[in-house]
Amino acid sequence: MRLQRYLASAGVAARRKAEELITAGRVTVNGEIVRTLGTKVDPINDAVTVDGEAVAAHDMFYVLLNKPKACITAVTDDRGRPTVMEYLRNVPIPVKPVGRLDFYSEGVLLLTNDGELAARLLSPTNHVPKTYHVKVHARLTPEDIKLLRDGIRLDDGSTTMPAEVSMLPGDSKHTWLGITLHEGKNRQIHRMIEALGYQVDKLQRVAFANLTFHNLRIGDARELSQMEVNSLRDLVGLDHSVVARGTWRSDREESDAPRKARHKARVEAAEAAAESEGGGGVHESDYEAHEEGGEAPARRGASAARAPSDRSAPGERSPRASGDGPAPRSSSGRG
């Protein structure tokens, strides 16, 4: 195995970054500094270090999680908040999230130890599609939809790329949208909606590249199939040289009732912790969010250019539209 691929499979870095580590003299093989790209290593018998720390390559492993809200997209958290890894306690190989969904966001999240694939999926040059269902606290006009589709100027002066936007069934007080992005600006959907003068009430990612949470309850996870892995790698120009077993699933021994109770306790504990720190609740600024998020409080200090609609309706329907994936599910459901 080439050294740079070994480092990528160990989760140290994507292959290009691994090459930089090698040429910088930060990698040793059996105690000797190696600067030559393409150096072959034996994953079983050779000892490899980066900056003096031993690293070990693993088989590539790919996990799809239907992320619940009220947990952080991180491996660990120094403030003790729940992370997505709590839902992967029995995962056989260490994995890391590919991008982020924020604290209040639900939906499709990929985790893997394939650093090269992760880097390519997140690269802005590859335009990997991400689809969201968005609940807006207003009735949007046709002009609003056109702005979202064509590209809208954000608060930092940048303009978004064209997006795929469809109206989903809703009620007279709210608008449900299906939005597919091909870029990944920070809090992009929130900022797009805020640029229109409205507020996002809920956001759920229903697809990432070719992945959806079909038949996967909130909080559950499974290993990707070989077909899914091959499709992801095709999307970003990688070969089919990795093997996915597709057999692992998250532990389903507990019934739904204890899962709901535990999830509710996590939400209450996180909000109580934020209150005790004087933050008035959990805010997105509590952590860096690479990916879009949902159902979070409005940004502190944000002003709206347009007041939300005050029209009301008895009850609220969950949207369902063909071609847009499953409808968002309430947080009072499974999870």
Condensed to tens digits (0 to 9), the pLDDT of residues 141-197 reads: 999 999 999 999 999 999 999 999 999 998 888 999 999 999 989 889 999 999 999
The alpha-carbon radius of gyration of the chain (Å, integer) is: 21
Query: Would you say residue 267 has pLDDT above 70?
Result: yes
Which of 322, 294, 323 minimizes the C-alpha distance to 108?
A: 294
Instruction: Report the predicted TM-score, pTM, of the whole model to 2 decimal places.
Output: 0.68
Q: Is 280 left (phi over 0), alpha (psi -120 to 50) or beta?
A: left
Phi/psi of residue 234, nearest 5 degrees = -60, -40
Query: Would you say residue 298 has pLDDT above 70?
Result: no
Query: Would you say residue 135 has pLDDT above 80?
Result: yes
The pLDDT value given to residue 241: 78
The pLDDT value given to residue 252: 54
Q: Position of tokens 């597919």? A: 180
CA distances from 254 to 251, 261, 299 (A): 8, 11, 37
Query: Would you say residue 255 has pLDDT above 80?
Result: no
List residues with catalytic annotation.
102
**Residue 165 bridge partners (DSSP):** 179
User: 28: buried, middle or exposed (CB in 10 Å: 19+, 13-18, 0-12)?
Assistant: middle
Contact 148, 141 (CB under 8 A): no
Categorize the per-residue pLDDT at 262 as very low, low, confident or very high, splitting at 50, 70 and 90: low
Categorize the per-residue pLDDT at 277 as very low, low, confident or very high, splitting at 50, 70 and 90: low
The pLDDT value given to residue 30: 95
65 versus 314: the higher-pLDDT residue is 65
3-class SS letters over the chain:
CEHHHHHHHCCCCCHHHHHHHHHCCCEEECCEECCCCCCECCCCCCCEEECCEEECCCCCCEEEEEECCCCECCCCCCCCCCEHHHHCCCCCCCCEECCCCCCCCEEEEEEECCHHHHHHHHCCCCCCCEEEEEEECCCCCHHHHHHHHHCCECCCCCECCCCEEEEECCCCCCEEEEEEECCCCCCHHHHHHHHCCCCEEEEEEEEECCEECCCCCCCCEEECCHHHHHHHHHHCCCCCCCCCCCCCECCCCCCHHHHHHHHHHHHHHHHHHHHHCCCCCCCHHHCCCCCCCCCCCCCCCCCCCCCCCCCCCCCCCCCCCCCCCCCCCCCCCCC
60 versus 265: the higher-pLDDT residue is 60
Cα separation of the two ends of the chain: 41
Query: Would you say residue 124 has pLDDT above 60?
Result: yes
Query: Would you say residue 72 has pLDDT above 80?
Result: yes
The pLDDT value given to residue 143: 97
Query: Would you say residue 79 has pLDDT above 50?
Result: yes
Categorize the per-residue pLDDT at 260 as very low, low, confident or very high, splitting at 50, 70 and 90: low
Query: Would you say residue 326 has pLDDT above 50?
Result: no
Contact 89, 276 (CB under 8 A): no
271 versus 81: the higher-pLDDT residue is 81
The pLDDT value given to residue 278: 57
The pLDDT value given to residue 134: 96
The pLDDT value given to residue 280: 43
The pLDDT value given to residue 58: 73
| Mean pLDDT value across the chain | 81
Query: Would you say residue 318 has pLDDT above 50?
Result: no
Q: How much of the chain, in percent, has pLDDT values that exceed 90?
A: 53
The first and second tokens of residue 196, run together, are 């229109």
The pLDDT value given to residue 322: 36
- From 78-92, 121-135, 238-252, 279-293, the region with the lowest mean pLDDT: 279-293
User: Domains (ranges, CATH) in the chain?
Assistant: 3-55 (3.10.290.10)
The pLDDT value given to residue 51: 95
